[in-house]
Every structure is written in C-alpha cells, then in structure tokens.
C-alpha cells in the first residue's frame, strides 16, 4: 500500500530537521531493489525514484518558488532532455552570445540548465542572469504547487517507449561498466520497465500526466515528441521560441537563426565537443559522455527481440487507449 505521507508532513525548519523527517518519511515508503543497482527505488506519490532524487523532489515541493516568467523543461529520463535543454537555452540566449561564445561550447547542457530536483536552491541566480529555464523529471501530479500556481510555462518531451527503454538500459549499463560492474540483466530490466518500475516510472503514467495537462492548458504546456522534433527540428525550434515568448524576428528568419540553433544543438555537433566527450563525472556516477549515445530514432531494433517490442507496444496501446496520444 502506498504511504499517505506527503511533503507537507516533512518538517522544513532547518536542514537537520529536514534530513531527519525525510529519513522518517522514506522509511514508510514501498521500496524495490532493481536494475542491479546498489540503491533501492522508493515509490513516492505513485512514482519510483532513487533517494537522492527523492530528497530533491521533496525539497523542491516545499521550497521551490516558480515565477510566471520561468520555463520548466519536463521529461522522464532518456527522452531527449539534454537536447531540449540546449535548444531552449540557445533560443533564450541567442542575442547574448555569438555562435562562437555560447556556454554550450564549454559546458554540458545540464550545467547551463540545472535540474530543479537537484539544484533548485541555485536557480534564482540563473534567473538573475536572464536564463529563467529549469528542468525536472518530476511527474506532473507531483510538481511543486508554485509551478502550477505561477502559471509559468512547461515544455514536456516524450519519446517512443521502446527507444526510451533501450536508452535507459544503455545509460545504466554505461554507468555500471564505468564502475567495473556487470551491466544490468536486460530481461530483468525489461520486465521491471513493463511493470512500471524504472526511474520516475511508470513510464506511461508520467507521459499521460503531462499529456492530459497539456490538453487542459495548451497555452501553458507544450507537449513534444522526440521523433517529430528529429523529423523537422527547425519547425520545432520556431514553435518553441513562440511558446516561450521569444519568437524569431523576420530579420532572424532571414539570417537563418533557427537553422543555426538546430545545427549548434545537433547530436553530431554536441556529442563531438570536448566537454561532452569528457569522462568527467556528475552526480557521483554519470560521465558527461554518457548523455550522448546515438541520438537515433528506432535504435530499439538493435536491442529488443520482436516479442519484447510487441509486448511494449501492447502495453503502450492499452495504457494510452482513449487518451488521444500515440507513441
């Protein structure tokens, strides 16, 4: 049974108290060992998270103050977050930097657009620098209240679940290999993914939460698909710019600024930058280069059997039926 404890039950007076009541709260949550990882997954408000992220989520739920002018990039891991961060950052900062001076040349996209679940305390300074963009993997139903109340804009990216699973699997395998550990067992990881036990999963519930919200609030939530963005990136860069109220001027169109942003943020370009090829480690375990694997649509064919693919398709069909969404 899921715990009824909520972030508001956690004392927020000071860091020690926060830690103590967080530990107390987490001990009441359902947990599972999985993907062969040392840390357990905990189920919080219906979704599975590692404790480090869970702490960030609870802290953000209590303390994050959104502003109406903020843009929040939302996604479940491995659906194109890194790419979307670089695109939105480039759109926002296009008049501040030349192509040769953009911070994207020397910083990981995750450094120029921080995650709310991890770094929200630093965010006001980013906002002050004129980049009011933050990202999160938090499901729609668990977003901090201030995000909904402020009316700030949300951009959600989703991806075909077969490619998302394969990307997630390889990401975990790469982390484990870098620690001289065996990659997770593919069949076991697949089984758990199908059951909904994956980072911020169930996958389909995450996507549906934002999908339904985007239908209710189309002016506030832009719902994107990785595959469609790959197909016509320039069109989506223009859409994004309009949505976040930074449309391109006719002069910018003439100068092909949207096309230049697409090129700058392309997989080929970003993945070949020294900073993104680096083995420098973030969050204790992730090397920069692990955020850039293939960037292709349909790579699942190289990893899943046809039975596995059919099973995921069946689940996706069932879960999304009647929603108007197809993946």
Catalytic residue list contains 317 = no
Closest contact distance (angstroms) between CB of 294 and ligand A3P is: 4
**Closer to ligand A3P by Cβ: residue 3 or 287:** 287
Q: Which residues of 80-117 are buried (b: 16+ CB within 10 A; e: fewer)?
A: bbbbbbbbbbbbbbbeeeeeeebbbbebbbbebbbbbb
Closest contact distance (angstroms) between CB of 250 and ligand A3P is: 27
Q: Give the helix/strand (H/E) hosting 281.
A: strand 281-282
Closest contact distance (angstroms) between CB of 17 and ligand A3P is: 34
Sign of the C-alpha dihedral computed for residues 225, 268, 237 and 288 taken in this order: positive
- Cα(308)–Cα(194) distance, rounded to whole angstroms? 10
Closest contact distance (angstroms) between CB of 87 and ligand A3P is: 8
**Closer to ligand A3P by Cβ: residue 170 or 212:** 170
What backbone torsions phi and psi does residue 16 show, to the nearest 5 degrees? -65, -45
**Closer to ligand A3P by Cβ: residue 25 or 162:** 162
**Closer to ligand A3P by Cβ: residue 25 or 327:** 327
- Give residues in contact with ligand A3P (CB under 6 A): 75, 77-83, 163, 167, 170, 265-267, 270, 291-295, 299
Q: Enumerate residues 6+ apart whose C-beta is below 8 A from 71.
A: 88, 92, 132, 133, 134, 152, 153, 154, 155, 244
Determine which one of 110, 137, 206, 288 is catalytic.
137
**Closer to ligand A3P by Cβ: residue 147 or 262:** 262
Instruction: Tell which residue, 156, 228, 224, 163, has the closest CA to residue 193.
Output: 163
Closest contact distance (angstroms) between CB of 201 and ligand A3P is: 14
Q: Give the helix/strand (H/E) hosting 40.
A: strand 40-44
- Could you tell me the end-to-end alpha-carbon distance of the chain, in angstroms, rounded to an integer? 30
Own/partner pairs, 276-282, CB within 8 angstroms, 24+ separation: 276/108, 279/178, 282/108, 282/110
**Closer to ligand A3P by Cβ: residue 65 or 99:** 99
Closest contact distance (angstroms) between CB of 295 and ligand A3P is: 3
Active-site residue set: 137
């Amino acid at each position: 049974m899921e715990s009824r404890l909520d972030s508001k039950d956690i004392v927020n007076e000071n860091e020690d108290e926060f830690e103590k009541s967080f530990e107390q709260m987490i001990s009441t949550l359902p947990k599972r060992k999985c993907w062969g990882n040392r840390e357990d997954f905990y189920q919080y408000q219906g979704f599975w998270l590692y404790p480090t992220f869970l702490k960030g989520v609870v802290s953000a739920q209590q303390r994050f103050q959104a502003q109406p002018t903020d843009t929040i990039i939302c996604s479940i891991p491995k659906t194109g977050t890194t790419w979307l961060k670089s695109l939105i950052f480039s759109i926002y900062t296009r008049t501040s930097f030349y192509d040769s001076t953009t911070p994207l040349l020397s910083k990981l996209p995750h450094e120029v657009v921080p995650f709310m679940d991890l770094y929200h305390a630093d965010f006001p300074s980013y906002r002050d620098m004129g980049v009011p963009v933050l990202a999160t993997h938090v499901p729609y139903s668990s977003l901090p209240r201030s995000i909904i109340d402020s009316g700030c804009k949300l951009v959600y990216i989703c991806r075909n679940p077969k490619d998302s699973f394969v990307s997630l699997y390889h990401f975990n395998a790469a982390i484990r290999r870098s620690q001289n550990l065996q990659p997770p067992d593919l069949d076991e990881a697949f089984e758990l993914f199908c059951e909904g036990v994956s980072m911020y999963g169930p996958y389909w519930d995450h996507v549906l939460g934002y999908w339904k919200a985007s239908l209710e609030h189309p002016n506030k939530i832009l719902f994107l698909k990785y595959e469609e963005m790959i197909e016509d990136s320039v069109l989506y860069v223009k859409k994004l710019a309009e949505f976040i109220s930074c449309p391109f001027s006719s002069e910018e169109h003439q100068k092909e600024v949207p096309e230049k942003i697409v090129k700058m943020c392309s997989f080929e370009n970003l993945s070949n930058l020294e900073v993104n090829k680096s083995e420098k480690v973030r969050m204790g375990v992730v090397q920069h280069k692990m955020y850039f694997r293939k960037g292709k649509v349909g790579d699942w064919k190289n990893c899943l059997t046809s039975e596995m693919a059919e099973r995921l398709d069946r689940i996706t069909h069932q879960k999304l039926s009647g929603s108007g969404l197809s993946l």
